[in-house]
Amino acid sequence: MGSMNISIKQEAYDLLCSLKGKGKSFSDIIIEVVNEKEKRNRDIMKFAGVLKERGETYWKDRENEYKDVRESLDSELESRGNRR
């Protein structure tokens, strides 16, 4: 495998140095970080669309519940004279 020269900011270099241990190259660190990011992206995609299955009625009910809670809290704050 060949090598390439790249230019990076000092901040990036310092960060790579902080992650680099003995026996690891900067390339090893970059590959690890990129692979971990890709793994997290794949893991989170497992949840894509999960909440959509709840249906419109479920979300309307949640919206109404949250509205009731907000109104109750606003009323309580107003009665205590703490209303903004």
Q: How confident is the model over 14-30, as pLDDT tens digits? A: 999 999 888 999 999 99
Name the residue with higher pLDDT: 56 or 61. 61
What is the pTM (predicted TM-score) of this model?
0.48
**SS3 label, residue 84:** coil
Q: Rounded distance, CA 84 to CA 78, Å?
A: 9
Tell me the two tokens of residue 12.
């990036």
